[in-house]
């Protein structure tokens, strides 16, 4: 049966339109029509905003659980359910630096989750352990290791979905980066102290993005542009941004918006277990983490991921940078879809795309989500 979403303000690639009905069939957007066909199941959006579903490429936890603690299908389900309440319809469960055996287990769990049809799972993000201890952030540097043949075999083991790997390019070789890219791995630079020249070489050999731009990487200076300078200059790679007002100062966010193409910026949460709960403490690899004023920190004040959700990230982007809702939505949907090479499947409300959708009000409070055309049940059965 065709489902018709009526009476909504629909954000399309051409802007917000109010006179179209979104028709869904077999999990995909069939058309944007003038009226619902006879016999269609009607879902009245009550003049709410219908946005493309948010895609988050960096989700460590949520709903009270952390992927590293229990890399299982059940953990992935719980994380996905917690973030779906805030408009996330596609995500990468993210494993921070850990032993290779844990990486292997996490990849197996994601593969099984996709096979079982767990809503929203698009693949896995392996953030480390191939990082630089000088830019370790909250990561446990005792877990860091070389990206050797054994590690390569593990990283290329996912049978379904996308694999994103964050590494420090200076800890490996351009040839290894090219080998990963040729194997279909999406390679991103993060927790890195690389020089501009090293990053430029990595970009030339398949580096596709930058993990949480500005955080845990060599900064832009007037004689050595560093990782940040290379990222701001490049016009093709994607840059993740944690827009919570703390990870990156608002003026720096505005400079970034002016410096880079908007379709090469993507919002990420770097979310921790506290998202979707009232919990204010959790344990991260043996360290006590507290949520203070909406920010996750250890006892020394070191940032430990975030307490951010995607709806808040979009809202913050509009409020802190002055970009339009359409531009912020692009950073939350279309841009990460393209980064993951899923732009023909997801990231926009257009015929043929997966019906991954978010219904919200003007303050971006989420009322309902659809994943592959199926509503969560928050508003529609």
Residues β-bridged to residue 267 = 241
Rounded to an integer, the average pLDDT of 291-315 is: 95
Residue 381 maps to a domain: no
Residues 123-154 have pLDDT tens digits of 999 999 999 999 999 999 999 999 999 999 99
Quote the pLDDT of residue 381.
Answer: 87
Question: Which token pair is 170?
Answer: 């200076």
Residue 223 sits in the same domain as residue 244: yes
- Known binding residue 138? Answer is yes
Q: Mark whether 79 and 116 lie in a shared domain.
A: yes
Q: Which of 56, 98, 111, 270 is catalytic?
A: 270
Query: What is the rounded average pLDDT of the residues 257-270?
Result: 96
Region label for 253, one of left (φ > 0), alpha (ψ between -120 and 50) or beta (otherwise) = alpha
Residue 179, domain member (yes or no): yes
Q: How many domains does the chain have?
A: 2
pLDDT band with cut points at 50, 70 and 90 for residue 293: confident
DSSP per residue, 20-32: -EEEEETTEEEEE
Residue 380, domain member (yes or no): no
**58 and 45 co-located in one domain:** no
CA distance 336 to 104: 25
**Domain assignment of residue 16, given as a range:** 3-51+348-375
pLDDT for the residue 95: 98
What is the CB neighbour count within 10 angstroms for residue 345? 16
* Rounded Cα gap, residues 242 and 221, in angstroms: 22
Which residue reads 């957007």 in tokens?
A: 29
Question: Does residue 288 sit within a domain?
Answer: yes
Rg (CA), the chain: 20
Q: Residue 14: its pLDDT value, please?
A: 87
152 and 253 co-located in one domain: yes
Query: Which H helix or E strand runs over 182?
Result: helix 174-182
Q: Are residues 256 and 196 part of one domain?
A: yes
14: left (phi over 0), alpha (psi -120 to 50) or beta: alpha
Residue 270 annotated in active site: yes
The residue whose two tokens read 């989700």 is 59
270/360 same-domain check: no
pLDDT band at 236 (very low <50, low <70, confident <90, very high): very high
Confirm or deny that 191 is annotated as ligand binding: yes
Question: If you average pLDDT over residues 253-269, what whole number do you get?
Answer: 97
Tell me the mean pLDDT in the region 42-61: 98
Q: Are residues 296 and 354 in the same domain?
A: no
Q: Confirm whether residue 216 is marked as ligand binding.
A: yes
For residue 21, what are the β-bridge partners? 33
**141 and 28 both lie in a single domain:** no
Q: How many CB atoms lie within 10 A of CB 244?
A: 21
Q: What is the pLDDT of residue 87?
A: 98
Are both 323 and 355 inside the same structural domain? no
pLDDT interval class at 13 (50, 70, 90):
confident
What pLDDT, on a 0 to 100 scale, did the predictor assign at position 69? 96
Q: Based on the domain organization, do 98 and 225 belong to the same domain? A: yes
Where on the phi/psi map is residue 227: left (φ > 0), alpha (ψ -120 to 50), or beta?
alpha
pLDDT value, residue 165: 98
Residues 228 and 129 both lie in one domain? yes
Cα 372 to chain centroid, rounded: 18
| Same domain, residue pair 60 and 31 | no
């Amino acid at each position: 049966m065709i489902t018709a979403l009526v009476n909504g303000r629909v954000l399309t690639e051409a802007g917000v339109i109010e006179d179209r009905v979104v028709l869904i069939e077999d999990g995909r957007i069939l058309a944007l029509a003038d009226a619902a066909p006879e016999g269609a199941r009607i879902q009245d959006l009550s003049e709410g905003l219908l946005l493309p579903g948010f895609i988050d490429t960096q989700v460590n936890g949520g709903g009270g659980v952390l992927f590293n603690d229990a890399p299982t299908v059940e953990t992935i389900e719980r994380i996905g359910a917690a973030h779906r309440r805030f408009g996330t319809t596609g995500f990468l469960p993210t494993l921070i630096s850990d032993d290779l055996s844990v990486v292997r287990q996490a990849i197996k769990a994601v593969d099984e989750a996709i096979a079982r049809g767990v809503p929203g799972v698009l693949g896995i993000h392996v953030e480390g352990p191939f990082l630089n201890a000088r830019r370790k952030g909250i990561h446990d540097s005792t877990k860091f290791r070389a990206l050797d043949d054994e590690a390569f075999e593990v990283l290329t083991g996912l049978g379904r979905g996308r694999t994103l790997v964050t590494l420090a390019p200076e800890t490996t070789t351009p040839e290894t980066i090219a080998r990963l890219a040729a194997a279909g791995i999406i390679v991103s630079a993060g927790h890195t102290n690389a020089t501009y020249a090293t990053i430029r070489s990595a970009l030339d050999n398949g580096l596709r993005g930058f993990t949480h731009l500005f955080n845990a990487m060599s900064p832009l200076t007037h004689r050595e542009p560093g990782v940040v300078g290379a990222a701001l200059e490049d016009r093709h790679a994607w840059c993740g941004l944690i827009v919570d007002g703390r990870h990156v100062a608002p003026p720096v966010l505005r400079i970034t918006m002016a410096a880079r193409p908007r379709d090469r910026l993507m919002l990420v949460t770097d979310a921790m277990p506290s998202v979707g709960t009232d919990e204010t403490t959790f344990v991260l690899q043996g360290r006590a983490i507290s949520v203070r004023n909406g920010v996750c920190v250890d006892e020394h004040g070191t940032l430990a991921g975030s307490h951010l959700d995607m709806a808040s990230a979009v809202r913050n982007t509009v409020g802190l940078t002055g970009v339009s809702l359409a531009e912020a939505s692009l950073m939350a949907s279309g841009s990460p879809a393209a980064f993951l090479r899923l732009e023909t499947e997801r990231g926009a409300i257009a015929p043929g795309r997966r019906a991954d959708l978010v219904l919200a009000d003007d303050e971006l409070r989420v009322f309902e989500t659809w994943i592959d055309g199926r509503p969560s049940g928050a508003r529609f059965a």
